[in-house]
Amino acid sequence: MTFLEMLQDAQQRNASMLCVGLDPEPRKFPAAMRGDPSRIHEFCARIVDATADLAIAFKPQIAYFAAHRAEEQLERLIAHMRRVAPHVPVILDAKRGDIGSTAEQYAVEAFERYGADAVTLSPFMGFDSVQPYLKYEGKGAFLLCRTSNPGGDDLQNQRLASVDGSPLLYEHVARLASGPWNTNGQLGLVVGATYPAEIERVRALAPKLPLLIPGVGAQGGDAAATVRAGWRADAPIVVNSSRAILYASSGDDFADAARREAMKTRDALKAAKR
C-alpha cells in the first residue's frame, strides 16, 4: 500500500487520529532504566506494544536516537514496529532540508536504511530539496507549514508581496503542496495544534492533504479545537502526542500508563468529530 492507503487503513482499523511520538530521553526513563541510552530500544518497543492498536501512526524523532548514538536501536525499533503493528505507518521525524544531491542521500537514509513510510521535511530550500523523496513510489512526506513553536512567526507568518494575492508564507507552502509539488500524490503538511485558526486555513487551502499536527499534550494544544479545524472524512489528520504518553508514569507501570494516556487522547479526538 501507499503511505496514504496505510494511513487510511490504520485510521479505520484503530479508530484513531492519534500519532504516538517516540522522543526517548533516558534521563526521563523509569528508575530501572533511567540514564541508560542502551535501553532506548527496550523502552520504545514497550510503548509500541502498548499502543499498537490505538495509533494511526508512530513518529520516531531521529535526533533523540542520534544524540545517544542509538541509530542502530532505531533500525531495530522500526523492524519491531513492522512485526507487531504492520498496519501502522512509521513517520520518521527528521525535518530534513538540503540541496538535491544531499537530499537524495537523506531519502536513502529515511526510506532504505530505516524503512520509514514517510518523513518530515523543511520546504524552505525549494522543490529540488523535496523532489528526491517523491521519487520513492508510495512514500510520503510532510512539509513544515505552520509549526507549533513560537518562533514559527518569524518566517511562516510573513506576507509574500511578490506572489499573487500576497499570501502569508505558510499559506504559500500549503498551496504548493496541494498543487504543483505533489507529484507522487503523497504529500502532507505539518501544522501545529497550538494554532487552530491556522489549521483551519491550511485545511481550506489543502482540502485533500493529510495534516500532521503536533502540539497536543505537553505543548498544550487543544485536542477538540484541533479536530474541529482540521478533520475531514476524506482527508486524515495525524495528531501527535509524545511526552504526555511516553512519560505518563515514571514507575514500572510506564507502558500501562502510556496505554491509558494514549487511549484517553484517542477517545478525546474521536469525540470531537461528533
Catalytic residues: 95
Kindly give the interhelix angle for 254-272 and 223-230, rounded to the nearest 10 degrees.
50
Q: What are the angstrom distances between the C-alpha of 6 and each of 12, 18, 118, 149?
A: 10, 14, 11, 29
Amino acid at the residue 119: V
Residues 6+ apart with CB under 8 A from 139: 3, 111, 116, 117, 118, 119, 133, 184, 186
**Cβ atoms within 10 Å, residue 247:** 18
Question: How large is the greatest C-alpha to C-alpha distance in the chain, in angstroms?
Answer: 58
* Best CA proximity match to 25, nearest among 256, 268, 246, 270: 246
User: How far is 153 from 239, CA to CA, in rounded Å?
Assistant: 21
Residue with cell 487511549: 263
